Amino acid sequence: MQIAIVLGLLLLAIVLFAMERLSVDVTTLLLIMGLVVTGILTPVEAFAGFSNDIIIILASIFVISGALQQSGIMDVAAASLYKFARGSKNRLVLAVMIIISAISSFMNNTTATAIFIPPVMGVAKSAHLSPSKLLMPMAFASILGGTCTLIGTSTNVAASGFISRSGMQPLSLFEVTPMGLILLGVGILYLITIGQRLLPDHVEEGLAEEYEIREYLSEVMIPGGSTLIGQKIFHSGLSEMGFRILEVLRDDTRFAPDASSVIKSGDVLLVEGKIEDLLKVKATADIEIRPEMKLFDESLQTGDIRLAEVIVTPQSDLIGKTLKETNFRLRYGMVVLAFNRHGRLVTDKVGNIALRMGDLLLLQGPSDQLEYVRRHPDMWVLEEMRPSLNRTTKGIYIIACFAAAIIIGGLGWLPLSIAFLGAAMLTIVLKIITVEEAYEFINWKLIILIGGMTAFGVAMEKTGAAEFLAQGIVGVLEPLGIHYVLAGLFLLTILLTQPMSNAAAALVVLPIAIQTAQKLGANQRSFAIAIMMAASISFIAPFEPACILVYGPGKYKFMDFIKTGVLLTLILMLVVLFILPLFWPLFPKS
């Protein structure tokens, strides 16, 4: 009965992860509650995963990564990268992948991808190269770079914690580096040869044309006696009916309205909205509508008014909220004209749709407000390279602290958790970031996911569910040989990464793999590391956060990832299965 309960909860978790109706942290906590309520785990066992020092390492990496992303040093790296490439597309693609993989070896790959998107977009524009030729290789290289060290990806960190809890020695900082470098080299070779032929090559367009905005700009004149006179623009009758007032012409002066702007007699308002809807309110609001103008970049950027494309960042507090709920225009002083999600353009009623990580927003507003947006961690402006000496100096300090932590922890002078916690604390003590910013940089959902799914792995071992599944796998595949058993577990992990996160998939399969190795008399560590690698080389579909981030900016379609990623996944799977035994023998030495 307990095995049935655990496997039932696993199936329920997979369905909930795939549906995305609930966030991953809520699903994980419900799973933990189910295990405790059914008596499978005690509260101490259920929450033991959160007391592992792996959680401290992961949180510290998030803080250090967040400090780096605010330092602006990536803009300097991108400028140097463009000089190195000297107009060569292949050299540029190669340089982008090498740099991003080196960074993601010591930083969460999602964060590394996110902070590198704006400068790489800028480099692509300067080189007259389609961003689609750069962004997917960058995301894939970031994921592969994460396989090179213990701290390169949360999957490695989570797997190491489970390996330790299973009675084995935890992974050292560079134990997986040789294997990771081989996978990275194979991946880079594929992406600069076969991969480049499979990637789309999109023609650069103006932002208004690219977003296919089919609405019109209309000039609305406010005559004396209009019911709109005296109303605050953001709360006027026009605004409440869904029209966006982009600009005001008053006494030969044009300006973008703010929260205090009031409509006056004689004003000419530049209104965005469907003309048929505007005609319906013409009589009741007593307004005069001038001939409409089609939206083009030039008509949206006049004087101090700017047009910009931004991406919603992984740590943004806009995620899960609508523009109306966040009072976006009042908060940032910019109006959202449209947004792009995974290639789907939305221009109508954008204020009612909850935002997600990786959404692209087309903003319009004053240049000074755009500068505010550029400094805000919620969104990053694309196609910008703006190195700053002051911010770059801070970046160098952060890198020095991070390098010191890697050396001290890697040589064993201090535990890894203490070394990285010390580096994270230094970013605050040196006033590079504030305490509040440090907490914002930590991906709490991922922390809860790893802590909770670790408990689920314990439940699978405690109830015998892992042994039950291991017996089934061994019974079917053992006659074919141990390599086929390992390949079956490897493929199972890859398939589970589609509905689940990579870390969650690894934590589900790890107890099964360890039990399978025990039954075969094989090396448990070899099987565990194979599963960890399998969770990090799944490029079948763009469900990995790093891929989601480049989906919109690269103007990719779902099939672009399938065409490029499936073959790469199969190649890397074969590489792991053939080369892994050279580093971790499948059977213990007698």
In this prediction, residue 213 carries a pLDDT of: 52
* pLDDT at res. 504: 84
Lowest-pLDDT range of 167-181, 265-279, 290-304, 360-374: 290-304
Q: Which long-range contacts (CB under 8 A, 24 or more apart) does 254-257 make?
A: 254/302, 254/303, 254/305, 255/304, 256/304, 256/305, 256/333, 256/365, 256/366, 256/369, 257/233
Higher pLDDT, 476 or 86: 476
Q: Please classify residue 571 by burial: count the beta carbons closer than 10 Å to its beta carbon, then call 0-12 exposed, 13-18 middle and 19+ buried.
A: middle
Tokens at residue 236, please? 């006027």
Q: How far apart are the first and last CA of the chain?
A: 39
Q: Are 72 and 387 in contact (CB under 8 A)?
A: yes
Instruction: Count CB atoms within 10 A of the CB of residue 107.
Output: 28
Average pLDDT (480-496) is: 90
In CATH, the number for domain 214-294 is 3.30.70.1450
Tell me how far apart the alpha carbons of residues 545 and 560 are, in angstroms, rounded to a whole number: 16
214-294 and 305-381 in the same fold: yes
Residue in the block written with tokens 């899960």: 320
DSSP state of 40: S
Pairing relationship of beta strands 344-346 and 379-381 according to DSSP bridges: unpaired
Nearest to 451 by CA among 52, 12, 7: 52
Kindly state the percentage of the chain with pLDDT values over 70.
86
Residue 422 has pLDDT above 50, yes or no: yes
Contact residues for 465 (Cβ-Cβ < 8 A; gap 6+)? 2, 3, 6, 7, 10, 459
> pLDDT (tens digit, 9 = 90+) per residue, 574-590?
999 999 999 999 988 75
Q: Where are the domains of the chain?
A: 2-203+403-583, 214-294, 305-381
d(CA 296, CA 182): 48
**35 φ/ψ angles, rounded to the nearest 5 degrees:** -70, -35
Average pLDDT over residues 83-89: 66
Report pTM: 0.76
Two tokens, residue 532: 């960890």
Q: Is the dihedral of CA 513, 516, 521, 522 positive or negative?
A: negative
**Looking at residue 82, what is its pLDDT?**
61
* Closest to 402 measured CA to CA, from 78, 65, 113: 65
List, in order, residues 6 or more apart from 517 with CB less than 8 Å away.
Answer: 523, 524, 526, 527, 528
> What average pLDDT does range 556-568 have in this prediction?
90
Number of other residues whose CB lies within 10 A of the CB of residue 281 = 18
Q: Where are the beta strands (DSSP E) in 369-442?
A: 379-381
Of all helices (H) and strands (E), which one includes residue 294? strand 293-294
Q: What is the mean pLDDT of residues 557-573?
A: 92
Q: Using an 8 Å Cβ cutoff, are 455 and 41 in contact?
A: yes
The residue that leads in pLDDT, 368 or 196, is: 196
- Which tokens hold the place of 80? 């140097």
The residue to which tokens 């900082």 are assigned = 173
- Six token digits for residue 449: 């996911």
pLDDT at 476 over 60: yes
Q: Which CATH number fits domain 305-381: 3.30.360.10, 1.10.275.30, 3.30.300.130, 3.30.70.1450?
A: 3.30.70.1450
Helix (H, G, I), strand (E, B) or coil at 379: strand
- Express the helix, strand and coil content of the chain in percent, nearest 5 each: 60, 10, 30
Helix (H) or strand (E) holding 308: strand 305-312
Q: What angle do CA 71, 364, 379 make, to 5 degrees?
A: 30
Would you state the pLDDT for residue 214?
46
Residue 468 in 3-state DSSP?
helix
CA 131 – CA 388 distance, rounded (Å):
24
DSSP letters spanning 58-109: HHHHHHHHHHHHHHTHHHHHHHHHHHHHTT-HHHHHHHHHHHHHHHHTSS-H
Q: Which residue has better confidence, 339 or 486?
A: 486
**Considering only CA atoms, which of 207, 206, 204 is closest in space to residue 362?**
207
CB atoms within 10 A of CB 244: 19
Cα–Cα distance list, 561 to 189, 542, 556 (Å)? 17, 6, 8
- The reported pLDDT for the residue numbered 295 is 46
pLDDT at 389: 43
Find the range with the poorest average confidence among 16-20, 407-411, 420-424.
Answer: 16-20
Query: pLDDT category, 108, cuts 50, 70, 90?
Result: confident
Percent above pLDDT 90 for the chain: 20
Residue 216 has pLDDT above 90, yes or no: no
CA nearest 529: which of 191, 166, 184?
166
**pLDDT band of 180, cuts 50, 70, 90:** very high
Cα separation values, 103 from 57, 60, 144, 151, 255, Å: 17, 16, 11, 11, 43
- Would the pLDDT of 162 be above 90? no
Compute the distance between CA of residue 493 and CA of residue 490 in angstroms, rounded to an integer.
5
* pLDDT at site 388: 47
Residue 490: band (very low, low, confident or very high) from pLDDT cuts 50, 70, 90: very high
CA distance to 114, 434, 532, per residue, from 441 (Å): 13, 11, 25
pLDDT digits (tens, 9 = 90+) for 434-452: 898 888 888 888 888 888 8
Per-residue pLDDT, 355: 87
Question: What dihedral angle (degrees, nearest 10) is formed by the CA atoms of 426, 432, 436, 442?
Answer: -70
143: nearest Cα among 563, 583, 581, 561:
561
What is the rounded average pLDDT of the residues 358-376?
Answer: 80
Q: Is 312 left (phi over 0), alpha (psi -120 to 50) or beta?
A: beta
Residues sharing a CB contact under 8 Å with residue 388, sequence separation 6 or more, in sequence order = 72, 75
> Residue 72 has what pLDDT?
64
**Per-residue pLDDT band at 208 (split at 50, 70, 90):** low
> pLDDT tens, 291-317?
544 444 455 565 567 778 888 887 788
- For 67-79, how does the pLDDT look when each residue is reduced to its tens digit (9 = 90+)? 877 776 666 666 6
